[in-house]
Structure 1
Amino acid sequence: MKLWIAFLLVSLSIQAQTNTYEISFDNAVHHEAVVKATFPNIKSNTLRVEMSRSSPGRYAIHEFAKNVYGFKATNAAGELLEVKRDNPYSWIITNTDGTINIEYILFANRGGGTYSQVDATHAHLNMPATFMYAKGLQERPIEITFDAREDLDWKVATQLKHEKGNTFSAPNLYYFMDSPTEISDYKAREFEVDGQTIKFVLHDPGTEAEFDAYWDKVQEIVLQEKAVYGELPKYDYGTYTFLACYMPNVSGDGMEHRNSTILTDTETLANGGMKGNIGTVSHEYFHSWNVERIRPADLEPFQFDKANMSNSLWFAEGFTSYYTNLILERAGIISAEEYVKSLNGTFNYVWNSPALEYFNPIEMSNQAPFVDAATSVDPVNRENMFISYYSYGSVLGLALDLSLREKGLNLDDFMQLMWKRFGKTEVAYTDADILNTLADYAGSDFAQNFFENYIYNSKMPDYENLLASVGLKLEQDTDKAYFGASFKETASGLEISKNTFKGSPAYEAELDKGDVITAIDGIEMTSNEVFNQLLDEMNIDDMLEVSFLRFGNELKTSVRLVADPAYSISIDKDAKNNTVKAREAWLAKKS
């Protein structure tokens, strides 16, 4: 009897310290949700509640408070409490009896990995964009009830722990904020892997047969990514949940979380999504190891009230990007030829970028708060000073994998070692830890050389020989002429649509974004087709007389053409047997 009383007292104590939330969607058609929260047992004279300014998996500031209105606070007796403001994202509430209730309206109409969306089709909730939190109460457990619209057949899907009905819980604020939720009339599939459940929730207007075909691909991805690391992570509550929303009203995105991921796109499975969306599945699931558990130390703890900067996104995001299409090939979703062809765009974007002279991969990672879904109104010069850490890390992952394979090693086993040291143990790593782990795996000289040349500097690996080692060719067309500008067609001519690349013929001729080219060598530039036909007839070092409009003025300049710097990666049909076997081993399905 005494033990039962003690258990009851502990349970009551936990309840007294639990923050509770409720969210309803009566005005979903106008993208509104009503959020209520209760913070009990408040000891201080005031309580500060605030909206997050950043979100797990994103690195920029988002100012979610801009979508909050109708705020009010009451005590346990229902009496209105005094509220003061000292910044745009906080509310300071006077405490009168130890309990503080808040209520507000949230406008939400962007379905993706960062924001929330509420409409007649679903409630798609990213928690930092939806729920206020109490400063200083981050370690309290949280309980939330979703008032799902029964008239719309809505059901709740989330990585939160299910308690009863539509009530779920989280052990603390961080887990709560890291738990996106899809509430809709969704379909679901699941399968068991080594005693854990992999679940796929799909909000899509398509058929069950379409879902079955897509689900087959998802299962192969799960198994191939498990094979890289040798085991699944230990998912909290034994389940990993894909939250996929392929609807015309959402925005294209993917966002990893500890035991789930958000997948959104306007392409439904019947409208291109069967092929177009599967790469995001591969990328985001790989994150359940690399970034969620193999975790950069500079992202711990994650700060909800400011931008989060990391040195390691070239590894966390970039190496994950390297594996994205490689896993699709190993899983039989794309062919070896399609995989090799997919390398070209990223390779050219990175190695023909003028930004290489400004930042190395670590410094590119530091740029994330300015580029990762960040918004601003002033023009920027990204074409010349930034390379995405996704892409930069991806081509370095390729170089490292092929370099290791020349030594009889491979990137899979290195990633598995990173998993055992930093992921499975959940000990956050630094860039130095990656270097030291690579040294232990492949030798100190190898690791130092790789980091000194390609991570701490921006040198280009010897891709020609690396690719040849797996029976691929790296080529450039030295006879093809290059101008160096992107155009959009207008009534006046071809408008330069992006900043011209530093060092390109167009750049050297002082042509700039916004200039409208009206004629070249007397030929009117009425379309991209006309321009491309003219360029195809030109040779290296030819001079072009260019007429263009700038700020309403008619101007002229001369452009000297150079060789096209674009690379081409392809399968070498004449490769030797040993390199063909090396390629097959690299791309082979893993068991």
Structure 2
Amino acid sequence: MKKFIPFSLLFSAISICSYAQQKYAYAVDLVNITNDQVAVTLTTPAISQESNVFSFAKAIPGSYARKDFGRFIVNFEAFDKDGKKLKAEKLNKDQYRINNATTLATIKYKVNDTWDQKHDDFIFQPGGSNIEAGVNVVMNNHAFYGYFEDYKKLPIEVSISKPQDFFGATHLNVEHPAANLDVIKARDFVYLADNPVIYSRPDTTSFYVGQSKINVFVFSATGKVKSAQVAGYLKPIAASLSAFFNGLPVKSYQFLYYFEDPKKALADRKNGEGGYGALEHNYSSLYYLPEVQYEKDLVSMVNDVSSHEFLHILTPLNLHSFEIENFDFTDPKMSAHLWMYEGVTEYFAHLIQLQNGLVDEKGYFKEMRSKMNAAEEFGNFSMTEMSKRVMEDSFQKKYSSVYNKGALIGFALDMFIREKTGGTKDLKGVIISLTQKYGASKPFNDDDFLNDFVAASHPDVRQFIDKYIVGTETVPYGDYLAKVGYEYSAQKDIQAFYPGKMGLKFENDMFVFTNVGDNPLKIKEGDIFKKMDGVEITQANLNDVWEEYFNENTKHPEIEITVLRDGKEKTMKGPIFDGHFKTKNYLAPMANPSAEQQAALKKLEGK
């Protein structure tokens, strides 16, 4: 059927179409880098106002603090089509007002990296930028590019001049018109900011889990860690997540790893300049981790942090509020539900490893106890209030509680839902049902979400929420741990045996005693740990041995240690110190759990 379109409407349609063709056209030079600064040139869209504000991000999704990326922009200049300089008034750290903006054609500036700059309010590395000429460029796009406040939704095209041997690892589609030129396109600034890029010489490995392609990129400062190695660690995690989701809800996902020389990373951390970790995005995650020589610890670290970030494809990708959906980079409004975005995600990250044999029962509950100890440092407060006010300094200090207190809330809430529904529902099922109600493109109302959560779980869940999530009460750990047959005490006096003051480091594929003080067996600094009670020490058993004989030894008043000293084996045997120590948040399997408790534990373990 043919429709008649009045002239006025036809004119309006043409105008909208013309407007839609406007774009931000950025040109970036990664070849001629000086003083860790990258030159950026923007061919601007046409501006219809006499003055407009150009902004850099003040805050970013997934990192709940003020960042002020405009601090790292220098030599900001605006020009008309004839090359005449226009007035650009700096309003604050992140914004410039450009006058005579209807004549604006070009903006030029330079980007400083955030990793190497010595400054207050250091930006956590996974959310910042690193610029090393000829080596690598970590390009978190929110740190490189800006936008006009009245033109946020325009498409963006970035042309990147690069060394010919550089590869841009990203979830974004990258065109390669020449060996030294990449072109990246994004539908708007939000999508560009959600997809970081790392440029360096390529080290990539890909594999499939079902129909989903998993891409792994690694930059390793000294070359110790390889992408194929990390991909091998990730395959069991990815398979476990696929089982958890009953198929991954994304067609592809990009893991971007930056492994730092641990000596440099340690120095940075001592100076208060960031730390290890990652930042999630909808279809990728960026990691800043140390090059750990001891492979068992490397595997554990990669599994813990990667499973957490990957799980964000559940929430907030497929379950989030309007504040997340319409994130305001200039004047951010926070959601009240960090307890779910981060806390439940962290709980699931460890639960998945337990259910799929990547950690055993002992390791899982050891992690739980560690979180209890960490949570105590933050005191009592409302998780929803902290979430809404996390940009304020007093609440920003409590943000990291989501990874311990939030995860413990997740565990207790899971146990509560299972009990109230007679095992017909659990926390995972509730969250997944809510992702089906909402999804990636349908945000929920922040104030209504808890009502939705109760409706999807059980009416009595409201009591739990009011006490421990909206309220300030501490979860009674013992009540929920008892349901799976575990004994809990806030503090317990334990008889134990102590081999003396000493530590251990992994060096040249050997475990070396270090920081050795007084000890009854006369272990010396630099001794190489070979055997404990006749059992050869390996990477596979070292952690268990250290835990049993050194950390909390309750069974061995006399031990036998064999070391390598001056190239010769030396065995030392005898009694060690004995005494008592007080431990907080004591956690151990009950001696005689009931059949119901044993069944609940098996169900938690996915058996």
TM-score higher than 0.5 here? yes
Question: Structure 1 residues 162, 389: CA separation in 2 closer, same or farther (over 3 Å shift)?
Answer: same
SS at match of 2:438: helix
Corresponding residue number in structure 1 for 2:287? 263
SS at match of 1:566: strand
Match status 1:400 vs 2:413: yes
Corresponding residue number in structure 1 for 2:68? 63
Query: What is the CA–CA distance in structure 1 between the aligned matches of 2:215 and 2:19, rounded to whole Å?
Result: 31
**Equivalent residues in 2 for 1:85-124 (5 A)?**
85-95=90-100, 98-110=103-115, 112-120=125-133, 121-124=135-138
Alignment-mate amino acid for residue 454 of structure 1: Y
| Aligned equivalent of 2:469, options 455, 471, 493 | 455
Question: Structure 1 residues 218, 129: CA separation in 2 closer, same or farther (over 3 Å shift)?
Answer: same
Deviation string 1:128-151 (CA, Å, 9 cap, x unpaired) is 22212222111111111222222x
| Aligned equivalent of 1:44, options 44, 49, 61 | 49
Specify every segment of 5 or more residues in structure 2 that has no aligned partner in the other structure, as ranges: 1-13, 116-123, 266-274, 496-580
**Equivalent residues in 2 for 1:248-259 (5 A)?**
248=261, 251-259=275-283
Query: What is the CA–CA distance in structure 2 between the aligned matches of 1:431 and 1:587, rounded to whole Å?
Result: 34
May I ask how many residue pairs the two structures share in their alignment? 481
Query: What is the CA–CA distance in structure 2 between the aligned matches of 1:438 and 1:223, rounded to whole Å?
Result: 31
- CA deviation after TM superposition for structure 1 residue 155, in Å: 0.5
Query: What is the CA–CA distance in structure 2 between the aligned matches of 1:371 and 1:27, rounded to whole Å?
Result: 39
Query: What is the CA–CA distance in structure 2 between the aligned matches of 1:343 and 1:261, rounded to whole Å?
Result: 25
Query: What is the CA–CA distance in structure 2 between the aligned matches of 1:124 and 1:361, rounded to whole Å?
Result: 33
RMSD of aligned alpha carbons:
3.2
Alignment-mate amino acid for residue 480 of structure 2: L
Query: What is the CA–CA distance in structure 1 between the aligned matches of 2:441 and 2:328, rounded to whole Å?
Result: 22
Corresponding residue number in structure 2 for 1:572? 590
Corresponding residue number in structure 1 for 2:384? 362
Question: Structure 1 residues 387, 31: CA separation in 2 closer, same or farther (over 3 Å shift)?
Answer: closer
Q: Does the 8 A contact of 2:220 with 2:291 survive in 1?
A: no
Question: Structure 1 residues 371, 343: CA separation in 2 closer, same or farther (over 3 Å shift)?
Answer: farther
Alignment-mate amino acid for residue 374 of structure 2: Y
**Equivalent residues in 2 for 1:75-224 (5 A)?**
75-95=80-100, 98-110=103-115, 112-120=125-133, 121-150=135-164, 153-165=165-177, 166-204=182-220, 211-224=227-240
Corresponding residue number in structure 1 for 2:456? 440
Match status 1:18 vs 2:34: no
Deviation string 1:21-51 (CA, Å, 9 cap, x unpaired) is 1211345463111111111322222342122
Query: What is the CA–CA distance in structure 2 between the aligned matches of 1:471 and 1:578, rounded to whole Å?
Result: 9
Query: What is the CA–CA distance in structure 2 between the aligned matches of 1:373 and 1:462, rounded to whole Å?
Result: 23
Corresponding residue number in structure 2 for 1:488? none
Question: Structure 1 residues 371, 313: CA separation in 2 closer, same or farther (over 3 Å shift)?
Answer: farther
Corresponding residue number in structure 2 for 1:422? 438
SS at match of 1:17: coil
- CA deviation after TM superposition for structure 1 residue 477, in Å: 4.1
Q: Which of 1 and 2 has higher RCO (CA within 8 Å, sep 6+)?
A: 1
How does the TM-score come out when normalised to structure 2?
0.72
Query: What is the CA–CA distance in structure 2 between the aligned matches of 1:447 and 1:476, rounded to whole Å?
Result: 25
Question: Structure 1 residues 281, 269: CA separation in 2 closer, same or farther (over 3 Å shift)?
Answer: farther
Deviation string 1:136-189 (CA, Å, 9 cap, x unpaired) is 111111111222222xx2101122233444111111121112221111113112
| Aligned equivalent of 2:480, options 466, 469, 476 | 466
Alignment-mate amino acid for residue 129 of structure 1: A
Corresponding residue number in structure 2 for 1:560? none
Q: Does the 8 A contact of 1:16 with 1:40 survive in 2?
A: no
**Equivalent residues in 2 for 1:262-411 (5 A)?**
262-268=286-292, 272-350=297-375, 352=376, 355-356=379-380, 359-370=381-392, 388-406=401-419, 407-408=422-423, 409-411=425-427
SS at match of 1:309: coil
Deviation string 1:402-443 (CA, Å, 9 cap, x unpaired) is 2223321322211211221223563324354234333333x3
Question: Structure 1 residues 367, 93: CA separation in 2 closer, same or farther (over 3 Å shift)?
Answer: closer
Question: Structure 1 residues 343, 142: CA separation in 2 closer, same or farther (over 3 Å shift)?
Answer: same
- CA deviation after TM superposition for structure 1 residue 269, in Å: 6.6
Corresponding residue number in structure 2 for 1:412? 428
Query: What is the CA–CA distance in structure 2 between the aligned matches of 1:173 and 1:397, rounded to whole Å?
Result: 33
Q: Does the 8 A contact of 1:19 with 1:143 survive in 2?
A: yes
More divergent stretch after superposition (337-346 vs 302-311):
302-311
Query: What is the CA–CA distance in structure 2 between the aligned matches of 1:318 and 1:45, rounded to whole Å?
Result: 47
- CA deviation after TM superposition for structure 1 residue 570, in Å: 2.4
Q: Does the 8 A contact of 1:29 with 1:119 survive in 2?
A: no
Specify every segment of 5 or more residues in structure 1 that has no aligned partner in the other structure, as ranges: 1-8, 375-381, 482-562
Corresponding residue number in structure 1 for 2:249? 233
SS at match of 2:404: helix
Question: Structure 1 residues 217, 582: CA separation in 2 closer, same or farther (over 3 Å shift)?
Answer: farther
Query: What is the CA–CA distance in structure 2 between the aligned matches of 1:269 and 1:215, rounded to whole Å?
Result: 17
Question: Structure 1 residues 52, 348: CA separation in 2 closer, same or farther (over 3 Å shift)?
Answer: same
SS at match of 1:220: helix
Alignment-mate amino acid for residue 132 of structure 2: D
